[in-house]
Every structure is written in C-alpha cells, then in structure tokens.
A and B are shown apart, each in its own frame.
Chain A
Amino acid sequence: MGLFGRKKYGKKPRDLVSKTTLDNAFDRRTFVIGAGMGGIGTILAGRMGYIAIAENERWVLESESNRVNLSLIPPRRGWLLDRNGAPLASNRADFRVDVIPDRMSDSERTLGELGSILGLSDNNLADVGKKIDEARGFQPVEVATGLDYEQFAAISVRLPDLPGVVPQRGFSRFYPTGPSVGHLIGYVGPASAEDYEENPDPILITPGYKIGKDALEKEFEKELQGEPGARRVEVTASGRIVRDLETREDKQGAPVRLTIDGPLQDYAARRIGLESGSCVVMDVENGDILCMSSMPSFDPNSFSAGIGRVEYSMLRDDERVPLRNKVLKGLYPPGSTVKPMHCMAFLDAGVKPEEAIICGGGRRIGNRFFNCWSNHGRVDMAKAIYQSCDSYFYHFAQQVGFDQVAKWAHKMGLGEEFDLPVTSQFYGTVPDPAWKQKKYDQAWQPYDTVNASIGQGYYLVNPLQLAVMSARLATGYEVVPHLRMDDPRKQFEHFDFSSDEINYVRKAMSDVVNGPGTAGRARLPIDNIQMAGKTGTAQVVSLSVSNGKTGPWKYRDHGLFVFFAPFDKPKYAGAVVIEHGGGSGSAYPIARDVMTFLFDPEKGMEALRPLEEQWGGTAQQRLDQKYRAYAAAAGEVVEPVPQRTEQIFDQVDAEARLAQMRSEERAQTSTPSRNEGSRPPVSSDEVPSGGTE
C-alpha cells in the first residue's frame, strides 16, 4: 500500500488510472486486507491463549467461586446447666426467616407480604424495616424466628415471588425459666458490625448465628459457641441451589455446668414478686452459689430473638431498672446487716461479749449525741445483735477504731471483688480514714465512725458481698463463692476465732429470728431447722424528705436481710435486698420462704402459690401482661432499640452516677437513726462507688 501511495503522490496529475493500475491496486490492497484479517486472527488466538493458558489458574478460581457457594451452618450452642444437670439455657429447633437486603428488589412489598403470611404486627415490621435500612449489603436481617411448619412451608412455596427472603431451619436459644435467669445468664444476639470488624469471621454474619451478649452467655462464649458446620453447594447465577457438594456437620458447643440450683433460682425470683430486689443463696461448705436472682428482670428469650422496640422501651423506662443485675451491680448501704460482722471485729480487738453499755435512746460520742432507734437500756453484744442497738456500735466502734472494723469488713468480703465469670461487678465501698482522705481530701470525723458502725454513711455493698459475709460469719472460714461446678475448690482459710466466739454470734443471730429479736416472722416453718439472720434497713433520702415507710416508692427505705441455716450447723447462707421495700420487713419473709423451699420444696410452694395468685401470675406471666398493656398504651410512639448492647447499660450507668453525686452530698451531714436498724444520714440507691467492675 505504501508503494501504491507513494506512486500516487509522486504523480502530479491524479487521473492517470488504468485497468492495470487498478488491478494492481486491488491485489495489493486485498493483500493488505487479508493481512489485516490474519493479524486480527493472530491477535485473537494470542489473546485466547493468554487468557486460557497463562491466566488459567486465576479464571479457574473465579469460575469455582462462581459455581460453589460455601454456606456455614451455625453451630448449636452449648447448654448452660444447673448443678443437677437441668438446662437453664438450651436450644430449641425452629424455623426462621431472614432477608438479605441487597437481594431484595422491593423491600417494602416483600416485607408486607411476609408480614401477612406470618401475621407480624406493624410494630415488628417497623423494627425489621429499620434494621434493613441499617444493614450492610449481604448481611442478613432476621425477620422472624420460632415459626411453625405451616408458616415455613407457606413462605417456601412463595420464594420465587420473594427475592432476598431466606427461610431456614435452625436452632434458637431457649431459657425455660425466662426472666428468672435473665440477669444471671444474659442473652444471645446476632454479632454487631463492631464485632465483625474486630473479628471478620464469616460465621459472624451467617444468619442464625448468635453470640453471647451479656453475663454468662458472654463470659463462656468460647466454650459455648462450638464449631460451625459447612455446606458446599453448587449455585446458579440467581442463587438457586443446584446440588449439595459436601457437608460438614457442626460441632455443638460444650455445656457449662453452674453451681446454680435452677428451681431455687426460679423460686427466689418469683418470690421477690412485685418488689424490686435480689436474693443470693450460697452453700457455705464449698462456696457454691445456689441462686442469684434479681428482679424485675427481662425475658432473655425475647432479647435473644431480637427484642422489639416497644418491649425494650418498656424495660428501659421502668424505674425498677429491669436491665440491671442487682446482685452484682446494685449497691446499697448495708445498714444493720453488718452489725454481727462488726461484733466479730470487736471480739478480735479484745472486746468481751459480756461488756455492756447503757443505751439511753442514744449515746454521746465526742461532743455530740447520736440517737438510737429505741431505748434499749443495758446492752451486751448478743442483745446488740438481736435488738440491733445502735448505741452499742457507736460506742465500741469508737473504742476499737474504725480502721480495725474496716479491716474485718474486707476480710468478710465487703468491698471485695470475687473471681467469678461475670461481666462486671460493682464492689462498693468500705469506708475508712485513709479512703476518705484519698477520695475527699478530708479527715475522718467521729460522726463518720458513728455512721459507718451501723452500716450507713459511705458504706456501700452489693447483695453478693452480703451473702459472702453471711457465709463467712456463719462458718468462720473465708468462704469463696463459685459459680462453675467444675472449677477447682480450695480449702478455705479459717479466721482466727474460737468456736465459742463463733457460736456466740450464731446464737445471737438466731435470736434475731427465733428469740426476742427484730425478725420473729422469719422463723422457718420447719421443725428442728432454725435460721439465723440479721435485719437491715437502709435509708434512701433524708428524713426530712420521707419517713422511709410510705410515700413515693423512690423514697422508701431499702430492706435487707442476711441469713444462714441451720443456725447451729450452717449449710446455707444468703442475703436478700429489697429496693425501697420500706424496711427489713420486706426482705426477711422472702428469705424465710426461699430457705423453706430449699429444705422443703412442698412447703415453699405452698407459701408462693397464694402470693402469685394475688400478684397476678408468675414473673413470666406478669412480664407478658405488662408488655401487652405497655404496648397497647404506647402504640407506635416508642423509641427504637439501641443496636449495641453497651448502650443499654450506658444509660443505667449515667443515672447511677447522678445518684452517687446526690448521696455523697448527703453523706456530709449527719442525722440520727429513727427505728430498728438505724438509718442515719446517708443513703443512696445502688451507687457504684470506689469503682466498678
């Protein structure tokens, strides 16, 4: 062609074209065209060789990843068992429906159809719709669990019209006793976006895979979670499964056996009834925690199924904070419940049990007169315990020094954190001069000793600590609480007390219940088993605001009771704390019934049945009723559920901090106590003081 071109350009007159030149041109140009064709053919062959041979490996891989879809099978979660092997948390086979937002063409229409098939309320649909809006790409969103077979089948046959909908067989977590174990066990839920970012394991975003979100479910996550199974399937471009290639079974997580006595846990939770409070029972011989019930609670079943907005809103708005585990994170002034323990401290400091003082309705300490709640006359150690005389403790605490008392409080478990598999425990405060100096930069005053000597002032403990104190008092051993059945047990250390001294305090505490004491109605209705105990009443607000017994719930006194039984040969010990119960009278009947149930379940149930009839059903039934009423009243105007677990507790913490500030202000002033189990100046509801966790 080049030749031809040059020729043409070379000749000035362009018209010199003949048949021959045209034929020649045709031949040359045909050759050019042919060469061009050949060139393109060669390029194509080369390109194909490059793709098919040089890059073969890459494309084979891509072709396989097109063809084969690896879907993980969520492992069945290990069971949580009680001490007798009964399940506190198990799995229930069920049918479930998820949607994959990215695969849905018209999510509103699809949801609407699902809603009508499954009979979901507008509320549920709004929840799901919100989750879909927030979901990322292919991360599945759970629409409903626990479907029956008919619903499952109805969805399965409509699948071609419902793109993005994934019906599945699976397992859901089941807590047979529901709210009774809510705080103890926690709940499970789908992994959050943060979880996935931290550990981008594809199992985390597999539909139906749940991880422990709180309490024991979270603590034992590694053991409980098991190993996922996997299914390799051949799929078409539209995602239809053509055939199974290979399936690996999942491996169920290991069961975890707790020291909890399931029925006792449930009984205690139900016996707390309409009150807001907690009950801990321990085996003093080995430290096993038999029950740690905290009420009101939430139903972990509904949390694990993805709690709805309305239900969450109900729980959050409740002033009785059903979202907080009161056993570990409720902090209360112990009130008079610490008096027997203080007596041990006095004994250790050389005070003789027979040493007595005269309670003239109070006692002068330094240059101020502090009231007792009554005029007890001559008071020795035993009477100081069973009559809960404040003056005795004002006097001897002052005499031995509060440092000495605080040392024993720590030895007995107060202000201590225990090595338990729980997500967090608030360990409260045992005040002493060094602590006050450090915290407030103020010197310890005589009135601080007075307040602290009767378990008020800066004193803050949680119910578990009270139960441990009770166990240590009862045995004289440094009982350490356990929550896991197969944990190794150590021999407990013995405190340096003679058996006479221990028996003396035991007898005095028995007299609280069985003698001339403050809790006569706490006597067990069982022959030859006698319970020993100590009442306590903790003031919440200053006497000028409320008398503590009536008036607004928030201002009523906390009722406390620590106990052990049988009193002469202790086997069980525990504590009951009722928030704003209006005094210890709200606490010890519960302790009595729980211990009755422990020794004689028949008699225990007899006591509970009429009460539940009066309250309107079991804890679970009442929670359900309350939810229905709340949902009806709230209608649509409820706030959404926070997506992250932490937010749930952040809010509680924030309130708690506010309450703490208020109580610290009050601690600066001093007021005398006024009734049984002195309730001086300070009060506070559950305040995390001195740190949390």
Chain B
Amino acid sequence: MSGIIPAPVARQPWMMLFPLFGLIGFGALVLTSAAAGNFDRYAESHLIRFAIFFVMAVVISRFNKPTVSLLTYPAYIAILLLLMAVEIVGQVGGGSQRWLEVGPIRIQPSELMKPAAVMALAHYYGGLPIGMVPTWRALIPAGMIILLPIAFVLLQPDLGTSLAIGFGGFVVMFLAGLPLRWFLVAGAAAVAMAPVAFFVGLQPYQQKRVLTFLDPENDPLGDGYQITQSKIAIGSGGLFGKGFNEGSQSHLNYLPEPHTDFVFATMAEEWGFAGGIFVIVCFGTILFWGLKVAKEANDRFSKLLAAGMTATIFFFIAINLLMVMGFAPVVGIPLPFISHGGSSMMTNMICIGVLMMIHRWNRKAPRTGLIVS
C-alpha cells in the first residue's frame, strides 16, 4: 500500500470510510425511492447533511487529547442544562417537546447527550485510580453521570434515547473493568423490576407497543400493522428485490415511515436479501473498525471512549433492525447513515468523528507497553 498511494491518503481510516460512503450513497438511492423516485425530497438533503456533518467529524478528529479532556465535563454539564431547559420550556409551553429552537437551528439535546454521556463516563474512568475500580467509588459518581440524563430524557418521554444512553453507559462501565458480579446483580434486579417498570414506568401507548411486539398478529390493522407491513416489505423482496423504484409497499403507503424508522424495509423490498447483507456487512465493518480503534488506543480514556462510541452506533443499528424484522417493539429509532433525519445523522457523525480522532491519536503515538499516560 505504501508505495503507490501517498501517505496522507493512506493514513485515512479507509476501512471505515468505504463502507460509510457506501451506506450514505445507498441510503440516498433508497430515499429517492421512498420519495416515489423523487431525488429532491429526501435524498438531496440526506447528502447535504452528510457533507456538513462529515466536515464536522473531520474537525472533531483534529482535537488533541488534552483539549478533549479539558472540554469533556463542561460539555456534558452544558448539555445536561440544555436537557433541563427543554423540560422547563416544555412545561411552560404545555405538552412535551424534545428540542430547543435557536433561530433556524433546532437542537435536540437528548441526541447530543448520547456521545456526551459516554465521553464523560470514559473520562471519569480514565481518571479513576486503578486501585479504586472495584470499589463503590467507581460506581456512584459514574452512576450519577448516566442516570441524570436518562431521568431527564425519560421525562420527555423518550424511551428509545434513554435506552441508548443507558446502553452506552453500560458498555463503558463493563469495559472499565467493574466487577462482573455487579452486572449480574444489576441484571437480576432488572429482570425482577421489569414487570413493575412495565406497569408503572411505561406510558399506556408504550405498554401497547410492547404487547403488540409480543403478539403482532393480534391486532394486524392496529398496532401490529407497522410490524406486519414491514415484514411484508422485507419478505416480498426475496433474494434480489423488486428492483429500484418498484417497491409497492413503500410507494403505495402501506409501509409506515418508509424514509425514517422503516427505511430498511423500504430498502429490502427493492434490493432484497442481497441489499440487506450489503447493509449489514457495511455496518459490521464500521463497528469492527471502531472496536479495533478502541483496542489499539493507548490509554484507558481513549479505549473506553472509542468502545463507547462504537456501542452507541451499534445500539441504533441493532434496535432499528430488530424492530423492522419484528424482534423488538416499535421504538422511534432511525437507522444510522440511511434514514432521513438530521439529529440521528449528527449523533452518529459525532461518534464517527470521535473514533477518527482516537484513530489519529493512535497513529501519532503508537501503542507501546512502556508508555503510560
């Protein structure tokens, strides 16, 4: 590789960039079809957003470790304040809302909180003396870092995002080396609490979604409708799909949200199993690269940060795909890099940017067992 390709090109993380561009381009194609063959409606803004956020990701990747360390807590606290502001504005304005409007820009703090919480947690564990890892001091402050934003997001109420934050936090804590039995106890407690949470914690519409997920055929024209239509779209695609712009499920409006939550079904109907495998392999490669970056990182903060970012992206992908295939209840989580929507694109590109940043750090200071940060 080294001979032909110039060094500045060769050092870019192509293992991630190729599948990423592939997904974005494929996404634009699918979105064109979701808009009944209309490129302007979704696909154009999809590409423009990607361009903007890719620049943002490159900018993020230029940050230095000390700067990041310095900014992590202030950024986390700022976003936490924004989350509270959303709650207050929502209370004052009457009715729940998830975003703040500043001029033409609409900020959704809960989206920003996903990477921010992971970052803060990684920073906390990065700075925690190693000997204290198996003690309560490793758990309580970290727990606060995670539970505070989850509480505010749940108030909105936004179950999907709070689960995403929780998942990111869990992965970071798991990888930070906390004693395994804590997780076992927590897992057991979660199982025990699940019925209580279901009946007390969930809104009636959310309870219904869960029930529908457990038995979608029960109500094929009501709540099960979305899952059933999604399965029809995926199943009728077959091996190679019905062809570009030929999907009847999406074009005749049987498929709900064909450009956001159910974009995978839109894709699968027209591109079939082959398209699905392409998407899954692309995602797998990106995630594999993310974990590789984490493994190659040379300090605890970078390691945990990279792994947490990878986990956050994974959570989006996994929940969305499980949902469209009828393995998870309908929660409004879009598919990264393919679904139309700015917030999700921003969150995922922040994660990508942070991973690129750590990738750059790794290259600059190759890991040696002797150097300890």
Contacts and interface: CB of A to CB of B under 8 A. Distances in A.
Interface of A: 1, 4-5, 8-9, 14-15, 17-19, 21-22, 25-27, 29-30, 33-34, 37-38, 40-41, 43-45, 47-49, 51-53, 55-56, 58-60, 62-63, 66-67, 234-238, 242
A56 B174 CA distance: 40
Given A30-B291, A44-B322, 20 more contacts: A5-B181, A17-B134, A19-B130, A26-B175, A26-B176, A33-B174, A34-B288, A37-B318, A43-B327, A47-B325, A48-B273, A51-B231, A52-B235, A52-B272, A53-B273, A60-B235, A62-B232, A63-B235, A66-B229, A236-B254
Nearest to B133: A17
A15 B253 CA distance: 60
Contact of A29 (B175, B249, B300, B314): B175
Given A29-B174, A63-B233, A48 B268 contact: yes
B349 to A, nearest CB: 20
9 contacts: A30-B294, A33-B175, A44-B322, A51-B235, A56-B235, A60-B236, A63-B235, A63-B269, A66-B229
B251 to A, nearest CB: 8
Contacts of B366: none
Contacts of B311: 33
A22 B277 contact: no
Contact of B232 (A37, A48, A59, A234): A59
Contact of B248 (A25, A41, A67): A67
A22 B236 contact: no
B291 A22 contact: no
B248 A15 contact: no
Contacts of A53: 238-239, 273
Interface of B: 130-131, 133-135, 171, 174-177, 179-181, 229, 231-239, 248-249, 252-254, 268-269, 272-273, 276-277, 280, 283-284, 287-288, 291, 294-295, 300, 303, 307, 311, 314, 318, 321-322, 325, 327, 372
B130 A17 contact: yes
A25 B181 CA distance: 14
Contacts of A9: 181
Contact of B236 (A5, A43, A47, A63): A63
Contacts, number: 143
Given A27-B295, A52-B273, A17 B238 contact: no
**Residue of A1, A5, A43, A52 with most partner-chain B CB within 10 A:** A52
A236 B258 CA distance: 14
The A interface is mostly helix, strand or loop, or mixed, namely helix
Contacts of A18: 130
A4 B178 CA distance: 11
A238 B253 CA distance: 8
Nearest to B314: A37
Contacts of A25: 175, 177
A453 B251 CA distance: 84
Nearest to A34: B291
A60 to B, nearest CB: 5
Nearest to A19: B130
B372 A19 contact: yes
A236 B253 CA distance: 6
Contacts of A44: 280, 318, 321-322, 325
A30 B307 contact: yes
Given A14-B134, A53-B238, A63-B248, A30 B276 contact: no
A63 B237 CA distance: 10
A37, A40, A45, A235 — most chain B CB neighbours (10 Å) = A37
Contacts of B272: 52
Given A45-B280, A52-B276, A40 B174 contact: no
B131 A15 contact: yes
B373 to A, nearest CB: 11
Contacts of A22: 130, 133, 176-177, 300
Contacts of A55: 235
Contacts of A242: 252
A59 B253 contact: no
A238 B134 CA distance: 59
A236 B318 contact: no
A34 B284 CA distance: 10
Given A8-B179, A45-B276, A63 B249 contact: yes
Nearest to A6: B180
Contacts of B322: 40, 44
Contacts of A45: 276-277, 280
B116 to A, nearest CB: 21
Contact of A66 (B130, B254, B294): B254
Contacts of B254: 66-67, 236-237
A236 B314 CA distance: 34
Nearest to A235: B252
A14 B174 CA distance: 17
Contacts of B252: 66-67, 234-237, 242
Contacts of B174: 29, 33
A547 to B, nearest CB: 72
Contact of B177 (A26, A37, A62, A237): A26
Contacts of A21: 177
**Closest CB pairs A-B (n = 5):** A59-B235, A63-B236, A237-B253, A67-B248, A51-B235
Contacts of A62: 232, 235-236
A66 B235 contact: no
Contacts of A30: 175, 291, 294-295, 307
Contacts of B171: 33
B184 to A, nearest CB: 9
Contacts of A236: 252-254
Contacts of B229: 66
A34 B288 CA distance: 7
A63 B252 CA distance: 11
Contact of A40 (B176, B276, B300, B318): B318
A17 B177 contact: yes
Contact of B284 (A19, A38, A60): A38
Nearest to A2: B180
Contacts of A49: 273
